Amino acid sequence: MTGKSKALRACALGVALATLTAAAWAHPGHIGHLHGEALATGLMHPLTGFDHLFAMLAVGIWAALTHDNVRDALWSPISFAALLFIGALAGISGLTLPLMEPLIMASLLVLGLLVAARLRLPQWAGATLVGFFAFFHGLAHGSELPGSTETAWSFIAGFMITTALLHVAGMLFGFQIKRRDRWIARVAGGGIAAYGAALLLGA
C-alpha cells in the first residue's frame, strides 16, 4: 500500500469516527447547567448533532477541493470560524433571529452541493457564503447556553477548538481526494446535501 493510500484511508477513518461520535451523542438542544465543565461541554458540542458536524467538515472539504494550496484554502474556514464566534456572542447576548434553524439546515444543502460539484467561487464570495451560514450556527451555539453564566468563554473556547479541528480534518480529507477518487467527493457532498434537504422537508 502506498503512502498516499494509507493517508487517504486514515483521513477517511477519521471522518468516519467523527460521524460515529455524532451518532452516539444525540443532539441535546439546550445545554442547561454546565457544572464547571464548560470547556469539555464546548469541545463536545459541535459533535452532538449532524447539523454542526457536517457543516464544519463540508467547509474544510470544499475549501481543499477548490483551492490549489493550503494558504488559499484557509480563507473559507477562517471566515466560518470568525462569524461562528460573532454569532455565538450574539446568541449569548440574547439575540434571536427568525429562520435560524431553517438556515442551518439550508447550509447543509448548499455546502453539500458545493462539495459534490467541486464548484469554485471567487475567494471573497466563498468566504462570504460560509460566513453567512456560520453566523447562524454560532447563534444556535450561543443561545444554548444558560441565560447567565460565568463559564461562557470556556464553552466558546471549547467549540471553537473543535470547529478548527473539524475544518482541518475536512481539509486533509479534501486534499487527499482532489487528485483522484472524485466519486468520494460526490458521494460525501451528495449525502450532506440530502441530509440538509431531508431536514428542510421535515421542518
The 3-class secondary structure across 101-152, one letter per residue, is HHHHHHHHHHHHHHHHHCCCCCHHHHHHHHHHHHHHHHHHHHHCCCCCCCCH
Whether 178 and 65 have beta carbons less than 8 Å apart is answered as yes
What cell was used for 126? 466563498
Distance between CA atoms of 56 and 81, rounded to whole angstroms?
Answer: 9
Distance between CA atoms of 60 and 93, rounded to whole angstroms?
Answer: 29
Tell me: the pLDDT tens digits for 46-65? 888 889 999 999 999 999 99
Whether 43 and 36 have beta carbons less than 8 Å apart is answered as no
* Residues shown for the chain: 203
- The whole-number average pLDDT for the span 34-52 is 80
**Per-domain residue ranges for the chain?**
3-27+37-202
Q: Is the pLDDT of residue 4 over 80?
A: no
Q: Is the pLDDT of residue 193 over 70?
A: yes
Distance between CA atoms of 189 and 157, rounded to whole angstroms?
Answer: 28
Task: Calculate the average pLDDT of the chain.
Answer: 83
